[in-house]
Amino acid sequence: AQDTLIRTERMNTLALMGAGLAHDLNNLLCAVKSSADLALLNLEEGLPPGVEDLTRISGAADRAALLTRRLMEFARREVEALAPVELGREIHGMEETLRLLLPRSVDLRIQVGAEAMVVWSTRLRLEQMLVNLVANAGDAMPKGGTLHVKVARSGDQALIEVADSGVGMGPEVLARIFDPFFTTKAPGKGTGLGLSSLKAMVEEGNGRLEVESEPGKGSRFRLLMPLMRSEALSPR
């Protein structure tokens, strides 16, 4: 469980680093631009470009290269090979972790269908997805409630449903929840990157993320992923 929290933290850190990096790179580019403009002005007037301006350009480029290299190193450690994973088993294995994300007053009920459901993913990814939805549900139920996590087959897709009895969302919020950086949470409590990155991850795997919600009643997130057919799996 500790591991998962650390990994989730790392994913969030990665998203934040991305945003921070864009900001820092922009500052460096502005420095490059103004120093290059000054050097050009000199040239236009028949003067040699100032050593100071060129030094500033070179230094800014060095710092930009260092920044991007750090981010790439950090990101590479997150990459994991996709493989067939059985949803039910993985989700049962996460039960303790998910419980830790919820207030004590929330009743977590996990229901997994009997048949094996194999999807093309990784344990880390699945955990990341579930942790995202369950943490949000916990935030939506500060006074307690019930959280149903259901795993079932839906045609040729696997369905993971996360339904809470929390505060719910009105249409204005619902329309924006997948926008990066959209959050209704206090600063420091929410980044607004959870659902947008979750949606991107799901769609990358040819899946779908749906949501229904009613203020005061609760929210239901439905995550659909293509099932792997058994003949596609290599025999043991």
57 vs 169 by CB, closer to ligand ADP = 169
- How near is the Cβ of 125 to ligand ADP at its closest, in Å? 16
24 vs 212 by CB, closer to ligand ADP = 212
Q: How far apart are CA 127 and CA 154, in angstroms?
A: 21
DSSP string, 189-219: TB-S-HHHHHHHHHHHTT-EEEEEEETTTEE
Q: Tell me how many residues contact ligand ADP (CB under 6 A).
A: 21
Q: How far apart are CA 106 and CA 110, in angstroms?
A: 13
Q: How far apart are CA 108 and CA 130, in angstroms?
A: 13
Contact with ligand ADP (CB under 6 A) among 94, 117, 130, 137: 137
**228: helix, strand or coil:** coil
Question: Which tokens hold the place of 106?
Answer: 């929330």
Q: Which amino acid is at 216?
A: G
- How near is the Cβ of 94 to ligand ADP at its closest, in Å? 18
Q: Which element (helix H / strand E) includes 36? A: helix 2-44
Restricting to residues 164-223, which ones interact with ligand ADP according to CB under 6 A? 164, 166-169, 173, 177, 182-185, 190-192, 194-196, 219
Other beta carbons within 10 angstroms of residue 43's beta carbon come to: 11
User: Which listed range, 74-82, 100-108, 149-157, 160-168, lies at the site for ligand ADP (CB under 6 A)?
Assistant: 160-168
User: Which listed range, 72-80, 123-131, 133-141, 202-210, lies at the site for ligand ADP (CB under 6 A)?
Assistant: 133-141
Q: Which residue is nearest to ligand ADP (CB)?
A: 194
Question: Which tokens hold the place of 50?
Answer: 């100032």
Contact with ligand ADP (CB under 6 A) among 140, 149, 151, 209: 140
Q: For binding to ligand ADP (CB under 6 A), which residues are involved?
A: 136-137, 140, 164, 166-169, 173, 177, 182-185, 190-192, 194-196, 219
